[in-house]
A and B are shown apart, each in its own frame.
Chain A
Amino acid sequence: MEKNKHFLVGIFEDQDELMHAVEHIRHEGVKIHEVYTPYPIHGLEHALGYKRSYMPRAAFLFGLTGGSLALTLETWTMAFNWPMIIGGKSHWAFPDFVPVTFEGTVLIAAFGMVGTFLVESALHPLKAPRLFDRRATDDKLVMAIDLGNNSLNEDQIKAVLKDAHAKEVYRKDFTDEDNKESFVKYLVDLFTKGVTSSSRKLG
């Protein structure tokens, strides 16, 4: 089967059950594509075997850049480009430069890190996300398993999911077109076909 097109979706309701299920399913040798949850579940990323987030390192590097830029600007303008004696202080009055250096550090660190996060997670206003189940932002924990990426067949994986106490298991297929849906197509579909699925209606 082709990769990234045919999925089995398992729906869970309880976060502790999901954690056990993830361990069980991975133990059975099934590769999990991704789990979609309405709220962060601590420890889920470890259970899924993800590497630690590199956001702290990104923030540090951006902060370092921001702080250096601010201090360089202050030093260059006050001590080199147009030196003036202000209140009898030395041109390079370091203690006075601390507040702006600090603000520069925080500003660039925050914007840089959030920018990195948005790019890393491919989040932007014109994105038409490929969703497995709309209840994943409401109250259900949705696990997707890529059939094209597993050696076990559909029925075997279904059995593993049932065994892990999945409340619902169903198959979901995407076409090539779905996988690279453009915002324009999303817009056209939305206004010609209307809203076709909603977690409010699914109840």
Chain B
Amino acid sequence: MQVVSEVREPLITGGKTIKDITDDISKRVEESPTPSWMICFAFSVLMLIAGGIFLGDLFWTGIGRWGLNKSVEWAWDITNFVWWVGIGHAGTLISAVLLLFRQKWRTSINRAAEAMTIFAVFCAGSFILMHVGRTWLAYWCLPLPNTYGSLWVNFNSPLVWDVFAISTYLSVSLVFWYVGLIPDFGTIRDRAVTPWSRLIYGMLSFGWDGAAKTWMHYEAVSLILAGMSTPLVLSVHTIVSFDFATSVIPGWHTTIFPPYFVAGAIFSGFAMVLTLMLVVRKVYKLEDYITMEHIEMMNIIIIVTGSIVGIAYTTEFFVAWYSGVEYEQYAFINRATGPYAWAYWSMMTCNVFSPQLFWIKKIRTSIMWTFVLSIVVNIGMWFERFVIIVTSLHRDYLPSSWVYFSPTLWDVMCYVFSFGLFFTCFFLFAKYFPVINMAEVKSVWKESNPRVYRARRTVSDEEIPASDKIAIQKELVH
């Protein structure tokens, strides 16, 4: 006898069978690209090329092309880097943390969220490579023997920690994602009807056969990868925040940064997952897999993390005042009332006030509102990083070096390039890879099947007469 929570709705709706799950998800990989997909993909590639031209010029000429100056030495480059890395945290959070907490609703969204993570980290990494200026010397960040001594990298520096953190995060996420894809590639291989798809998906599936022994090891591997990814994801954004927090710049030098950055990362990551999944769900007609319950759950996480971020902003302000340090106080008053007040209040509106609308059930369960607010949150999170970076730098210790930062076309186009990179990868993924983890959804199918769900509700369930229950159970067995 199994007791199923009465308040928990089925995870997959529409009375799907296991066969339907395979069909619904594999169909998208097997069909030829639709015109709407081709238009979206072409547009992404266009962004990639247009941005790439400017990027090429940036590499050729140097980062003087950007609007940086002697006071504002970091601006859009690092803002974009932190923004993309933040987005890149939701995937691992969904698949790792929610796996450890046995949140089964994650199974429908983890694949796409992990893909989003990986592509977002590509974009983040591209800004790291850009901002070093001489990108061809970026390998100097690695502790490689050299003819200068050997002169080693400085392991006391958070920038070096960041090199290790981001590269570990990217490679571990990639492995985690790929291991999850192997069984689904096996499914597509076995459904293939043309030699080429049989060959390509067969190679991608690594010769998967679904043996119970392999599944046993696979399950252990997934659980341990999840267990390791959880502290990893927290460490990565903590280290990103150390890039600022270990410096002595007023506005950066705060101990609240690690938890505040991690909450912000989860916040923006979930917003991006929602933006993408709402579109994928609509285009691929996956309403039975990504249900309103999933959307509501993610919106609840957005309220929680949005509120944490709001508290962090307030605490930061309070501590600046309470510290009695004039420079620290000025940095914060300048943020809210100085020349960048517009950016500060955009951040506050988008990140702190707007997600509070999700307290209203109608808004939290509305596709339109969710979609709009998820974009608003992402805009807000971009401004958060911009505010932290630029407003702390633009008024230096000497009033003679106070400046106002304005982006150039190269700043804008490098950002466009990263969008092109992200969406090119994402559209390729959405077309050629199964967007939902079929094997995992099948493994939660039985308990989330409405029919089984009714049959198994054996405790305090007066709605179904005993005779019906037996009939349902019989029907299931035969």
A interface residues with partner B (beta carbon < 8 Å): 14-17, 34-42, 44-45, 48, 50, 53, 55-56, 59, 63, 73-74, 77-78, 81-82, 84, 86-87, 89, 93, 96-97, 99-100, 102-104, 106-107, 109-111, 113-114, 117-118, 120-131, 134-139, 165, 187, 190-191, 194-195, 198-201
Contact = CB atoms under 8 A, between A and B. Distances in A.
24 contacts: A16-B446, A17-B477, A34-B211, A34-B213, A36-B210, A39-B442, A39-B443, A40-B219, A45-B212, A53-B216, A77-B152, A82-B151, A82-B152, A99-B161, A103-B165, A136-B190, A137-B190, A138-B190, A139-B22, A165-B477, A190-B195, A190-B199, A194-B195, A195-B198
B172 interface: yes
Contact of A137 (B206, B210, B225): B210
Interface in B216-269: 216-221, 224-225, 228, 231-232, 235, 239, 242
A36 B212 contact: yes
Contacts of A53: 216-217, 219-220
Nearest to B153: A77
Nearest to B204: A125
B179 interface: yes
Nearest to A79: B155
B212 A89 contact: no
B287 interface: no
Nearest to B183: A137
Interface string B186-207: 1101111111001100111011
- The 9 A-B pairs with the shortest beta carbon distances in the complex, nearest first, are A127-B207, A123-B206, A39-B442, A139-B18, A77-B152, A55-B220, A53-B220, A134-B190, A99-B161
B439 to A, nearest CB: 5
B164 A199 contact: no
A200 B203 contact: no
Contacts of A187: 199
B284 interface: no
Contact of B218 (A15, A34, A117): A117
B9 interface: no
A201 B193 CA distance: 8
B406 interface: no
B11 to A, nearest CB: 14
Nearest to B445: A39
B193 A41 contact: no
Nearest to B164: A103
A28 B164 CA distance: 56
Contacts of B190: 131, 134-138, 198-199
B182 interface: yes
A8 B202 CA distance: 25
A99 B210 contact: no
Contacts of A40: 215, 218-219, 439, 443
B208 A117 contact: no
Given A99-B165, A117-B218, A190-B195, A39 B204 contact: no
